[in-house]
Structure 1
Amino acid sequence: MQHLPILIGAALGWLAIAIAACGVGFLLVSAHTFRRFFAAAVPAPARNEAVTLLKPLYGAEPRLFDNLATFLAQTHGGPLQIVLGVQRADDAAIGVVAALKAAHPQTDIELVIDATVHGASGKLSNLINMDRVARHPILILSDSDIAVAPDYVAQLLAALDAPGVGAVTCLYRGRGDAEFWSLMAAAGVSYQFLLGATFGVAKRLATPCMGSTIALRRETLDAIGGFARFADVLADDYAIGASVRALGLEVAVPPMLVTHACDESSADALWRHELRWAATVRDLTFWPYVGSIVGLPLPVAVLAALYWPAAGVILALAAIFARWVVVRSVDAAVGRPVASFGIALLHDFAAFAVYIASFFVRSVDWRGATLTMKQDGRIAAATEH
């Protein structure tokens, strides 16, 4: 019995070596898959369909005006309505919307201020309130912290036209808007999440539907029960996609990127955001989430070095090289560096801490509210963490 701790330690060391080795291979294969996936992108011509853009807002985020303005600078040739919504009459985003209207007087911009609550999700309550003024048959909803290219609407409509497609969603890269901690967040989005999501989509291992963008027709939204059906769901974007697929329709993911603006200004903000995201993914796809540890070979290799120093150091160096390949591949697709290579490596260790902590969390912070996570993927208001 006295040798049991040594045997357990050795077994864990070998397990860490195996995970790290698999992780190095995964990063290299994923980088190759990433490059091939986005190499398939083709230009989309301007379209003439009538489209409503839905943008639920909360507060005056950094660069909110600039992010929203990208949705108005579209090559789209048809009617384009943008509906912006807040739930408080004193929300700082209202001033940004006023400036947006002044800068674009010819654009069809609607602002909805409505405090009506329809469920535990503030975002869905906002969307339900906004939806009553949406006039057009094609709806494109996206989070407030998203910026897009001029052909965004054209690309979505082209993908939505494909046979059997009921909705379209978009992969996204990060952009740091608030110095160091936001750059850490952007590195995680771009060099970890985006890489894994692209691999899952390209290999048909994942069927995502993301708040970065969900484009669908009004009849499809009505067929899945409208926004009200998801008012008590934490991962409402994922649930919308699952409901569309339940109709026998596909959620398409075209080879295009939108930008997620990261505004984390502190370590605490970064921790809360990434922990909420990780706990959500854990509840949605538990075993794939358990296996996602292969995407973090560097911290696992460092742990392996505690038991088997030579193998651990070799694997750590291999993991650093593999992450460098990932960073180069993603930055090439984005057109500029998302974050420094040092920040990318540092985020690997932060992500490993989040991964471990996520298995012990049952409530999350969302826009200042604490929400309790239920077993069926639904949420309820909570009074404490």
Structure 2
Amino acid sequence: MELIAMAAALLSIALLLSNLASILLAARRLKPPRGMAAPVGRTPPVSIVIPSRGIEPFTAETLQRTFTLDWPRYELIFCVAHADDPVVKLINRAIARFPNVPARLLVGDDRVSANPKLNNCVKGWEAARHHWVILADSNVLMPRDYIHKLMAAWRSDTGLVCSTPVGSRPAGFWAEVECAFLNTLQARWQYAGEALGLGFAQGKSMLWNKPMLDANGGIRALAAEIAEDAAATKLVNGIGLRVHLVASPFEQPLGERRLGEIWSRQARWARLRRVTFPLFFAPEILTGAAVPLVLALVAAAHVGISLPATTLCVLALAYLPECALAWANGWHLSPRTVAAMIVRDAMLPAIWARGWLGGAVDWRGNAMTIGTKVAELEETPSSA
């Protein structure tokens, strides 16, 4: 019994220490957002390709931000799959409102993969006029120095620069839970991985050197995996280059969220990670506070230590450093943040288990069965 208690206690401590180490590694890589810095050095022209679908609560604001970037020369290429998409009217109005910014709207669906976003991007990539191309999701809230921050992260060994999404403006508790997933869990581990030389691409904002990617198969090469960011990671690493992250990630305003939405999104991402990077996905069950808490309670029960006191101690060791990381970087914090983190970590084992199972998942109105690296995609009506 004592051996079981000791083993459980040591493993719990080890997991809590690895959690703290990841926070410290991420903190070293992250720089808190500051006021806009003037671009220095070369400022080459840039093409920004933005795949769009449907209207979300912050679409008008994120759309306007794309036209007010502080960069001497850039073009915007908006891509939609269908001409009757309601976002088309908003995009056309924005293009008319900002005539000084070169912008186009392209309509069509190039079925190069089972990834609907990648299919939507192909026409934009092929129409891009400049050697530097950013693939940016339509719900990224771009700061004025958006391009500058991406370009500043490019180094001699870089093949791709990305930014993870940082959740902001949550409305309601479940949006707080999504912030807890996006910010101090997923963004934190991604920055910690980059600090250890394990940079992984993130599809929210991706800065490419177009001649480099075109020489290695072009955007269609990203169809090699069901997730374009997984394919990008493997392609870049395969040619001896690295994925780097911006010093300060960009916001994704959330608004209201429902539990079902969070589950669907996290289950899809888990399944994609399981299929594309199984060796990295397997230990994800050990992230969060659930496993170290269970182990600590097992140890405490065997030696007669108060279980409530043990629970409070483990949660404090897990969540106070997370809150400190969020505070230091200006990420969302509220009186409900710790409760949201607890709910997040309670969901993690179920999400991890779901990642090992087959079955259909939803990708913005597309029913997708992800069984292997090859997925089946069947479009269904969407309310997005």
Same fold by TM (over 0.5)?
A: yes
Residue among 347, 351, 365 paired with 2:362 = 365
- In structure 1, the residue matched to 2:140 is 146
- In structure 2, the residue matched to 1:324 is 320
Partner of 2:127, secondary structure, is: coil
Taking the aligned partners of 2:18 and 2:307, their CA distance within structure 1 comes to 17
Deviation at 1:337, TM superposition (A): 2.1
State whether structure 2 residue 222 is matched by structure 1 residue 230.
yes
- In structure 1, the residue matched to 2:191 is 198
> Map of 1:336-355 to 2, 5 A cutoff?
336-337=332-333, 340-355=337-352
- Report the residue type matching 2:193 in the other structure: G
- In structure 2, the residue matched to 1:126 is 120
> Identity of counterpart residues, as a percentage?
22
Taking the aligned partners of 2:377 and 2:9, their CA distance within structure 1 comes to 42
> Map of 1:271-350 to 2, 5 A cutoff?
271-298=263-290, 300-302=292-294, 305=297, 308-309=300-301, 310=305, 313=308, 315-321=310-316, 322-334=318-330, 336-337=332-333, 340-350=337-347
State whether structure 2 residue 68 is matched by structure 1 residue 76.
no
State whether structure 2 residue 182 is matched by structure 1 residue 189.
yes
Taking the aligned partners of 2:254 and 2:9, their CA distance within structure 1 comes to 33
Taking the aligned partners of 1:285 and 1:115, their CA distance within structure 2 comes to 28
Residue deviations 1:157-182, cap 9 Å, x none? 2333x223222112331125553322
Q: How many residues align?
A: 371
Partner of 1:334, secondary structure, is: coil
Q: 1:15 to 1:238 in 2, by over 3 A?
A: farther
Taking the aligned partners of 2:321 and 2:23, their CA distance within structure 1 comes to 7
Contact 2:30/2:191 (<8 A) preserved: no
Contact 1:302/1:312 (<8 A) preserved: no
Structure 2, unmatched stretches of 5+, are none
Taking the aligned partners of 1:49 and 1:116, their CA distance within structure 2 comes to 29
Q: 1:62 to 1:40 in 2, by over 3 A?
A: closer
Residue among 101, 106, 110 paired with 2:104 = 110
Taking the aligned partners of 1:365 and 1:285, their CA distance within structure 2 comes to 20
Q: 1:33 to 1:74 in 2, by over 3 A?
A: same
Taking the aligned partners of 2:64 and 2:6, their CA distance within structure 1 comes to 52
| Greater Cα offset, 143-152 or 58-67 | 143-152
State whether structure 2 residue 350 is matched by structure 1 residue 356.
no
Q: 1:298 to 1:83 in 2, by over 3 A?
A: same
- In structure 2, the residue matched to 1:266 is 258
Q: 1:182 to 1:164 in 2, by over 3 A?
A: same
| Greater Cα offset, 79-88 or 307-316 | 307-316
Residue deviations 1:119-156, cap 9 Å, x none? 32211111112223211111011222212222221122
Residue among 49, 54, 59 paired with 1:59 = 54
Deviation at 1:370, TM superposition (A): 2.0
Structure 1, unmatched stretches of 5+, are 1-6
Q: 1:178 to 1:134 in 2, by over 3 A?
A: farther
Contact 1:52/1:136 (<8 A) preserved: yes
- In structure 1, the residue matched to 2:238 is 246
Contact 1:17/1:301 (<8 A) preserved: no
| Greater Cα offset, 35-44 or 328-337 | 35-44
Deviation at 1:222, TM superposition (A): 0.5
Q: 1:282 to 1:312 in 2, by over 3 A?
A: farther
| Greater Cα offset, 211-220 or 256-265 | 256-265
Contact 2:110/2:122 (<8 A) preserved: no
Taking the aligned partners of 1:118 and 1:289, their CA distance within structure 2 comes to 26
| Greater Cα offset, 215-224 or 226-235 | 226-235
Q: 1:365 to 1:356 in 2, by over 3 A?
A: same
Residue among 80, 83, 86 paired with 2:80 = 86
CA RMSD of aligned residues (A): 2.9
Deviation at 1:41, TM superposition (A): 8.5
- In structure 1, the residue matched to 2:163 is 170
Partner of 2:130, secondary structure, is: coil
- Report the residue type matching 1:320 in the other structure: L
Contact 1:296/1:352 (<8 A) preserved: no
Deviation at 1:333, TM superposition (A): 0.3
| Greater Cα offset, 173-182 or 124-133 | 173-182
Partner of 2:133, secondary structure, is: strand
- Report the residue type matching 1:316 in the other structure: T
| Greater Cα offset, 123-132 or 329-338 | 329-338
